[in-house]
Every structure is written in structure tokens, then in C-alpha cells.
């Protein structure tokens, strides 16, 4: 059996690949190693597992349907049919969507379509798990955010593309009975993270003695979720496909967060302590497309899959700082 993981060189994707390989799976990794952020970081993530005998990397764009189909066919010939997929490749970042909207449509919308079509035509396919985002909650003021809430008020193009992904997932599950699970990730952080995320930006600036940009004058709250908890929830979802009862589409959505919301200024305090240096703060107004707070209601994934996040920022942030020091020799 082959499990396809898109975004294999990405933050979450690389961790998922390692976990699957550790338990003996054959993994087809898809990633085009684009330069949205430092490619050498992506290469370093891959270096941890790309020589594993059960891993194959296809350096292709997920929007390239012919290349994806060819890679799946090659993997099936050597490792068995494609039965499961974890689709994590995406153009991420709320603010960048203001600058390069076409990248979001190509990667997030066309890419989702290509993956859905690939799963549809795999004769023994069992389950697709794909990444959505807490950004779909948009301007919601009710907290915590529940999967039962309406999400038809996106305030960024990124959020709109992720909502589109959910709609397409449900549509394909309805039409072709493809079991699919969408995971709404909440502010993922940890070792091997993304340089465009606040924790990384703050850490880099504090080490360099530069001011950190703090939007909305610091009045921000986030449900920070450690990457190990995210990977655990993703694998739990992968191993538990929605049951097709012949009526409702075998499609479900879960919030996957830490089920606690932290003040941004408290995160900065924990980070300062871990680094051993005070931050110089540049308070700024709210950025377009951003939201003041996120907070995940995770009752559904707890009840269905036994997911229980266990890492607080008091543990997770020092772990990230330790990794950052080691990775950059600080």
C-alpha cells in the first residue's frame, strides 16, 4: 500500500512522513520545494528521511495533474496501490495572499482538485485527509470556534480557498463516495516550523537584537498547537475513515487545536524567558485579513478519535527555541 503525503518538505508534512515511515508505511512524498520561504530549510527537513527505503520523493507541483498521476502510477508499481493520502501542500499565509492571489488559487484550489481527482481514480482508495485552517472562521465572534459554526464570512483570500477546499471535499465525497476528512489546523508551531509564522519571526528578531512586530497593539489571542499534537491528530484521522452509510457523504471536518487560547503578550513573555533576552516591541495596528482571536472547540475530534493535545506553550516554546539554537548554531 502507498500513502501519499503532499507538502512532504513542509513543516507539518515532514513530521507526518517521519511518523508514517517509523511505523513501516510506504510513503510517496509530493513537494515542489518552492521559494515562498527558505528552500534550504525544506531541504534540511527532507534530509532527515529522504534516504529511507520506504520513501519516494516526487518534486512536482500539486497543480500539475499529469505529473501527479504519473508519480502515483510509479509508486503503485513499486509499493502497492494508492489507498490513503494526506494532502498538506498549500500556499500558506494570510498576509501573502494580499500580494500574490494567483498562487493561492493555483495551489490551494487547483491543487485540491487534482488531489481529489487522483483519489477518485485510484481503484482501491480508502481515505483522504486534507488540511483546512482555522482561518475559515473569518469574522466569527463566538468562541470557541465549533465545526458546527457557519463559515461563510472569510476575511482573507487564503481563508476563502480553504473554505473552497472543504466544499470540494464534501462534493467529491457525495458524488464519488470518497471518504475524506478535513482538518482545521490552529496556529501550529514547533521544531522545523515556518519562518513566516509569528513565533519564528519573534525568535529571529530577539536573537538579532531587532524589534518584533506586534499587531493590533498586542491585543491578540491564538490557540497555539504544538506540532507533535498536530501530527498525532492527523494520524488518528488517517486511520479512521468516515463510514459511508449510503446516505450522507462520507466527509467530516474537525478542529485540531490545543483547546486553549493564549494572549500574544504571554507568548512573548515565555519566549523571552526561553531565549534569556527581553524583546524590543514595535506595536502596530491590525493587518488586513487578520483576526484578533482563535480558539478551537475540539470536542468532536476528542470524542471520535481520542485526540488529546498535551503540550502547552510553557513546554513547546522552549522546545522550539532549543531546536532553533541548535539548527542555527546560536
Report how far apart, in Å, the C-alpha atoms of 154 and of each of 43, 140, 165, 202, 223 are: 33, 9, 13, 27, 18
- The three-class DSSP label of residue 265 is helix
The single residue of 37, 96, 130, 158 carrying the catalytic annotation is 158
CA 2 to chain centre: 21
The C-alpha cell at 209 is 537584537
Region for residue 81 given its phi and psi (left: phi exceeds 0; alpha: psi -120 to 50; beta: otherwise): beta
- The three-class DSSP label of residue 26 is strand
175: Cβ contacts below 8 Å, ≥ 6 apart: none
**Beta-strand pair 82-87/221-222:** unpaired
Length of the chain: 330
Closest to 188 (Cα-Cα) out of 220, 132, 229, 147: 229
Give the whole-angstrom CA distance, residue 87 versus residue 291. 25
CA 206 to chain centre: 26
Note if 130 is an active site residue.
no
Closest to 228 (Cα-Cα) out of 8, 18, 9: 18
Q: Among all residues, which ones are annotated catalytic?
A: 158
Amino acid at each position: 500500500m502507498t500513502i501519499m503525503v503532499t507538502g512532504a518538505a513542509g513543516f507539518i508534512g515532514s513530521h507526518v512522513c517521519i511518523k508514517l515511515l517509523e511505523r513501516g508505511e510506504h510513503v510517496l512524498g509530493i513537494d515542489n520545494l518552492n521559494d515562498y520561504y527558505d528552500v534550504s530549510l525544506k531541504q534540511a527537513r527532507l534530509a532527515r528521511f529522504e534516504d529511507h527505503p520506504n520513501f519516494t520523493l516526487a518534486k512536482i507541483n500539486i497543480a500539475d495533474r499529469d505529473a501527479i498521476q504519473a508519480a502515483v502510477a510509479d509508486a503503485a508499481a513499486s509499493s502497492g496501490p494508492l489507498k490513503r493520502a494526506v494532502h498538506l501542500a498549500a500556499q500558506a499565509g494570510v498576509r501573502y495572499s494580499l500580494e500574490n492571489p494567483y498562487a493561492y488559487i493555483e495551489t490551494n484550489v487547483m491543487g485540491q482538485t487534482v488531489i481529489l481527482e487522483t483519489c477518485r481514480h485510484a481503484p482501491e482508495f480508502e481515505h483522504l485527509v486534507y488540511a483546512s485552517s482555522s482561518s475559515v472562521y473569518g469574522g466569527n465572534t463566538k468562541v470557541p470556534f465549533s465545526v458546527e459554526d457557519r463559515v461563510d464570512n472569510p476575511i482573507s483570500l487564503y481563508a476563502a480557498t480553504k473554505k473552497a477546499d472543504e466544499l470540494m471535499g464534501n462534493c467529491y465525497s457525495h458524488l464519488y463516495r470518497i471518504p475524506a476528512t478535513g482538518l482545521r489546523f490552529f496556529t501550529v508551531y514547533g521544531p522545523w516550523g515556518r519562518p513566516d509564522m509569528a513565533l519564528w519571526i519573534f525568535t529571529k528578531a530577539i536573537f538579532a537584537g531587532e524589534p518584533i512586530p506586534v499587531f493590533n497593539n498586542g491585543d491578540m489571542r491564538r490557540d497555539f498547537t504544538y506540532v507533535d499534537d498536530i501530527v498525532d491528530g492527523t494520524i488518528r484521522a488517517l486511520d479512521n475513515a468516515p463510514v459511508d452509510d449510503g446516505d450522507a457523504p462520507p466527509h467530516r471536518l474537525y478542529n485540531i487545536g490545543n483547546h486553549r487560547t493564549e494572549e500574544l503578550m504571554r507568548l512573548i513573555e515565555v519566549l523571552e524567558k526561553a531565549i534569556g533576552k527581553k524583546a524590543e516591541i514595535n506595536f502596530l495596528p491590525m493587518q488586513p485579513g487578520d483576526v484578533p482571536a482563535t480558539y478551537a472547540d475540539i470536542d468532536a475530534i476528542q470524542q471520535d478519535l481520542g485526540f488529546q493535545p498535551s503540550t502547552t506553550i510553557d513546554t513547546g516554546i522552549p522546545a522550539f527555541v532549543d531546536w532553533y539554537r541548535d539548527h542555527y548554531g546560536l
